[in-house]
A and B are shown apart, each in its own frame.
Chain A
Amino acid sequence: MTVGTERRTPSESELGALIGTPFPGGEATLEPWWVHLVLDSMLADPADGGAHPVLVFLVATGSMGWSWDELFALFGASDADGPMAGETDTVVYSPLRVGGTYRVSGEIVSAVRKVGRRTGVFDIVGYRLDLHDSEGAHCASTTNSIVFPRRGEQL
């Protein structure tokens, strides 16, 4: 699916219709230098290698097939709207390995409009990304939510 650049806040029904939208997906190989530098940047021990569980999110989102801008655009938003991370839930069935190649796939799993007394209207969008190794084994899954403020919108 190609994401257009037009920005318009989706209606509530349009928002709901986006549930089930698949990510284009992709593939990533855990290069030793990349793993080392990422872990060092996060004050983690590079000796942990691919097993550090935070790598699941980085590999998954890095090869989901869309840039963050494209994912935001699917929901009529951009960086300038101030989208925020809501929650994350990551399951590791088998630790990732340096040198391993992983296929990333996933979909939009939830999208709901809410209104807060102070925050006004906002949308919470959930997405799940799965990592399979080159043998097809399901290695990890990460489910995350993004909060999109809808300033100026009313329910």
Chain B
Amino acid sequence: MRPTVGQKIPVRIIDSVDPARMKTLSALMRDPNPIHFDRSVASALGLGDRTVNQGPSNIAYVMSMLGNWAGGTDRITRYRFRFLGNVFAGDRLQASGTVTAVDETPEGLLVQCELALDVVDGARVLEGTGTVRLPVDN
């Protein structure tokens, strides 16, 4: 079905951000910043007593939601975000989006979306846009 302006993308809920996954990602990214794996450092920096999730993970939660709706993450051609705040271990998150434009081009339908990631009952942590390219017969 062809997307329409104003259409809501099915939300994605992350029940609880897992600190063990942060540690794994720190190792894979060779990211030495201890706020992702050492609660005492996060606390000493005034960030509270929970480790801080990596920014790319926060983006990935939203991109996976968008890709799931679009028929594959390989259809995502662009994303832009502003980082508005931190996500901490144990946070419950909601990724959401709304279609803002649909343009037919020779390469397919270019669909623009407003996107966000919010801590449930908390603050917005990511805000931005994404573009997906869909087959014209979508």
Contacts and interface: CB of A to CB of B under 8 A. Distances in A.
Whether A associates with B in a native complex is yes
Interface string A116-147: 00000000000000000000000000000000
A43 B57 CA distance: 8
A29 to B, nearest CB: 14
A86 B82 contact: yes
Tell me which of A53, A57, A89, A95 has the highest count of chain B C-beta atoms within 10 A of its own C-beta: A53
Contacts of B81: 87-88
Nearest to A147: B83
Interface in B32-59: 32-33, 45, 55-57, 59
Contacts, number: 98
Interface stretch (B2-10, B22-30, B116-124): B22-30
A45 interface: yes
Contact of A48 (B59, B67, B79): B67
Interface string A77-99: 00100101111111111010000
Interface residues of B, number: 32
Given A62-B29, A90-B78, A85 B83 contact: yes
Interface string A37-70: 1111111110010011110011001100001110
- For the residues of A in contact with B, the DSSP-based class is mixed
Contact of B56 (A37, A42, A68): A42
Contacts of A93: 77
Tell me which of B21, B24, B25, B74 has the highest count of chain A C-beta atoms within 10 A of its own C-beta: B74
Given A34-B28, A48-B73, A79-B33, A42 B80 contact: no
B63 A53 contact: yes
A42 B29 CA distance: 12
Contact of A53 (B24, B29, B79, B83): B79
Contacts of A42: 21, 25, 56-57, 60-61, 64
B108 interface: no
B135 interface: no
Contact of B59 (A45, A68, A79, A88): A88
Contacts of B11: none
